[in-house]
Structure 1
Amino acid sequence: MKSISPLTEVYPDLSIEEAYQVQLRAIEQKVQEGQRIVGKKIGLTSVAMQELLGVDQPDYGNLLDTMEIRNNGMIRLDHLFQPKIEGEIAFVLCKDLSGPYVTVEDVLGATDYIAPALEIVDSRITDWKITLADTVADNASSGLFVIGEERFSLKEIDLPSIKMNLFKNGDRINTGYGSDVLGHPAKCVAWLANKLSQFDVGLKAGEVILSGALSAAVAVEIGDVFTAEFSHIGKVEVSFK
């Protein structure tokens, strides 16, 4: 595998809408090859990341069945480019959601359960030298994801107050809260459903939605073990070799 230069160096006028079309065509090709869409991921949900790329909204990518790693699984780094890891809250839907007028209440009503998750973001662009258009075209820098086995009802769980501690090899390296993603994780899912309506795409019952990183992404090295521990919803772990 070999990383490439940013698309925006070759196509400096590449718009966000065109970048999403690049993403969709690439995903369609993977589906034709036998892979299956199992959900979506939402990126750039924090103010800090939006300011870094000079944007005022999140982005999204597709999750494929080949991207899922079991909890406590092992990932080979030679299968990735330049991975980083993030702790997130995963939503699994029991009802379809279609924009453009989806609300937080709609998301809560359409959620079957939530679970702790780790997303391994990865960029096919050399040295993460990306603009928003580059990462959108690159399926929002999606790599792999891990979902905890335990399922949690939204009843009696205040999503914004969920606390996440991310540990690397047993040492806590960062902390985040549900409120760090647009103020409320379900608001991110609502944004996604409404954004997808521009492409005549909806969220489907059974899909996994990664609602956004609760803290900064951390670079991964051989031998690392990462654990994300969440208040109220348990923990999820993955190792690298």
Structure 2
Amino acid sequence: MMDVNGVAQRLMREHEEQVRFRPFAAASGIASLDDAYRVQDRYVSLLQTRFGDGIGYKIGLTSQRMQRMCGIDQPIAGVVLADRLHHSGAKVAISGYGRIGLEFEIAVRLANDLPAGGPAFTPESVAAHVGGVCAAIEIVDDRAADYAELDVLSLVADNSWNGGIVLSEFRSAWPALDAVSGVVSRNGVEIDRGHGRDVLGHPFSPLAWLANALAAKGRTLRAGDVVMTGSLVTTRFPTETETYNFALDGIGAVELTVEAGKPG
């Protein structure tokens, strides 16, 4: 029997104490993705008392590189909270997380509510509702998970590990997103690069996936929602003070400094 509130409370405690992440779904009675998202909903409601209301969503595991890294073959979603929104130039302390990871993404902002009750969304139909795009870094907290034994149900229940997002300025006009090149630099030196097509062929494909997943629950994306569409490259795990820059050709760049010190 699944104790939704009990599992959510346990996740709160484990994050506070920075307990290492270990798969817990089977032992907690989480038997399906629906169960996992029910736990996530409750866990997010507890997080909102500390980090504010939801301002959008993260979509994870949208590239083949990320799916191979995690051993999971489908996208997942989590909720982004207001006080976890940072802007380019932000600084965060490594010690504030069980283990901090950085992912480098294209974020979108909705210009208006998506219609409810209509046909399934497609990349083309959601495109009409996007009002801005920007370069973004997702902060994930995987609490030193062992990826060899990763369980998608436990990951989803843990709000898909979202620990925050860092955004550049949104642009209301943008180049073809499938062809956009994204370059990751650490302390001024390029370390990786990817393209918009690396996330399910186009960043609006995971956006359509999310819109349909929400619609199946009677929900919809709203005007102003920010959606992280998934990392173009594999996660980086900084362990010392470093500055990361992610530049999207024709869109802009976002910068984050991680510091090997105590949280401010």
Verify same fold: TM over 0.5: yes
Match of 1:136 in 2: 156
Match of 1:205 in 2: 223
Match of 2:252 in 1: 234
Match of 1:163 in 2: 181
Q: C-alpha displacement at 1:55, in angstroms? A: 4.0
Which of 89, 107, 110 does residue 72 from structure 1 map onto?
A: 89
**Distance change >3 Å, CA 224–CA 197, structure 1 → 2:** same
Read off the aligned partner of 2:237 and give its amino acid letter. A
Contact 2:76/2:160 (CA < 8 Å) preserved in 1? yes
Match of 2:7 in 1: none
Q: C-alpha displacement at 1:34, in angstroms? A: 6.7
Deviates more, 1:50-59 or 1:21-30: 50-59
Deviates more, 1:208-217 or 1:40-49: 40-49
Contact 1:23/1:137 (CA < 8 Å) preserved in 2? yes
Match of 1:107 in 2: 126
Deviates more, 1:131-140 or 1:48-57: 48-57
Match of 2:243 in 1: 225
Which of 130, 137, 140 does residue 121 from structure 1 map onto?
A: 140
Contact 2:30/2:153 (CA < 8 Å) preserved in 1? no
Distance in 2 (CA, whole Å) between partners of 1:122 and 1:44 is 15
Distance in 2 (CA, whole Å) between partners of 1:60 and 1:35 is 18
Q: C-alpha displacement at 1:171, in angstroms? A: 1.6
| Cα offsets for 1:164-194 (capped at 9, x unmatched) | 0101111211110000000000011000000
Aligned to 1:40, the other structure's residue is in SS state: strand
Aligned to 2:41, the other structure's residue is in SS state: helix
Contact 1:108/1:154 (CA < 8 Å) preserved in 2? no
Match of 1:81 in 2: 98
User: Does 1:50 find its partner at 2:67?
Assistant: yes
Contact 1:6/1:125 (CA < 8 Å) preserved in 2? no
Q: Tell me the TM-score normalised to structure 2 length.
A: 0.84
User: Does 1:2 find its partner at 2:22?
Assistant: no
Deviates more, 1:214-223 or 1:45-54: 45-54
Distance in 2 (CA, whole Å) between partners of 1:34 and 1:159 is 31
State the Cα RMSD in Å: 2.0
Aligned to 2:206, the other structure's residue is in SS state: helix
Q: C-alpha displacement at 1:142, in angstroms? A: 0.6
Distance in 1 (CA, whole Å) between partners of 2:81 and 2:71 is 28
Distance in 2 (CA, whole Å) between partners of 1:145 and 1:184 is 20
Q: C-alpha displacement at 1:49, in angstroms? A: 3.0
In the alignment, structure 1 segments of 5+ residues that lack a partner are none
Match of 2:14 in 1: none
Aligned pair count reads 239
Q: Percent identity?
A: 32
